[in-house]
Homo-oligomer: A and B are copies of this chain.
Amino acid sequence: MSHGAAEPLMTWVDGESQSSVSILDRGLQYGDGVFETIACRRGCLRFVAQHVARLQQGCERLQIAFDAHRKLTAELERASRLAPPVAIIKVIVTRGDALARGYGSVGRESPRRIVTMWPDAPLPESLRAQGAAVRFGQLRLARNPRLAGIKHLNRLEQVLARAEWHDAGTFESLLTDSEGHLVSGTMSNVFALKGQTLVTPPVDQCGVAGVLRAVVLREAAHFRLEPSIAPVSVQRLLNADAVFLTNARIGVLPVSRLGGRTIPIDARTRALAAHVEQLDA
């Protein structure tokens, strides 16, 4: 399933209205950069501080000397003022143009920021109400702690994993790593609720530390849930009281079908979803 429109409403490169970049950009040459996908609702950038903070963490991990946060934040504000009621704003920061051939950075590159704003549609109410059908993916995520957690531009695993299914009725695919540990969906984090425990797998070997994942872990206490980052086996997932997905676009989305089996939707998932929906930071 692709989502949203085929083309962005607006594109900026380093603050200028522009829709192309140099072929020498290391983002294109090597995937040498990071990105964020920010939901914009009625002009409000949801969890924008958290997104910008994660972008910065990613840049630091990759030793990209990005220091234009104020400019970026101003551009995001500008984009939000021009956005339709439901929109997605994607930010890419790359190391900038290659100043020489080869993988090595000369250290003087100028990081480039690319902002695109896309019209979006709310998730269908029926999907929120009835829950998502989720499959188990075949591709195993590779383990690399140096790249785990951040939202970098090396996303071929997600591209390949997303190519495994075409039926529109399946919303997401859950992926395990090369050692068989559950990690996340192709574009979302996954949580299991069992008793009072709300657990999501660690993302220190692969996967992305989602902004909504962090929000849910933070907000769990409001629902007397004990948040836990711990290994989740497929069996544990199938035996959970409830399972849900999170990302910036979907918020908290209950899962009702898992690898062909029906799983219940817990009232606490709905409460958590509604709670997160009205948060804005």
Q: Name A's B-contacting residues (CB within 8 A).
A: 1-8, 11, 13, 18-32, 35, 62-63, 88, 90, 92, 94, 99-106, 114, 116, 118, 139-144, 146-147, 152-163, 178, 186-187, 206
A28–B8 alpha-carbon span in the complex (Å)? 15
Contact status B4-A100, CB under 8 Å: yes
Which residues of chain B have C-beta atoms less than 8 A from A114's C-beta? 23, 28
Among B5, B62, B159, contact of A103 (Cβ-Cβ < 8 Å): B159
Best-surrounded residue of A8, A103, A161, A162 (most CB of chain B within 10 A): A103
A145–B225 alpha-carbon span in the complex (Å)? 39
Contact status A153-B104, CB under 8 Å: no
A13–B23 alpha-carbon span in the complex (Å)? 9
Known: A1-B102, A103-B158. 6 other contacts (CB 8 A): A11-B23, A25-B28, A30-B31, A102-B187, A103-B159, A105-B163
A11–B114 alpha-carbon span in the complex (Å)? 22
Contact status B101-A156, CB under 8 Å: no
A157–B13 alpha-carbon span in the complex (Å)? 26
